[in-house]
Amino acid sequence: MRPALVTQRLVREANDEERDCLDVRWTPFLARVGLCVVPAPSAADPVVLMDLLRPAALVLSGGNDLD
């Protein structure tokens, strides 16, 4: 399988903790086309990740508003 870098959404918990989240349906969906999900941490530099991992795909899965 080829790697697919997949963005995640940021969720703030009640205790003010922030988490990256990715819908579990992405893994089987991308596997059907021969891709393996590599979650992209929201705090990471996407240019660096693309350069290091050289993924076969970049999936912008949606996420938080830019406010």
pTM: 0.82
CA distances from 31 to 9, 18, 25, 64 (A): 21, 28, 10, 25
Q: The tokens of 1 are what?
A: 């399988």
What is the Cα–Cα distance from 5 to 14, expressed in whole angstroms?
A: 28
pLDDT (0 to 100) of residue 10: 87
For the chain, how many helices (H) and strands (E)? 2, 5
Tens of pLDDT along 20-61? Answer: 999 999 999 999 999 999 999 988 998 999 999 999 999 998
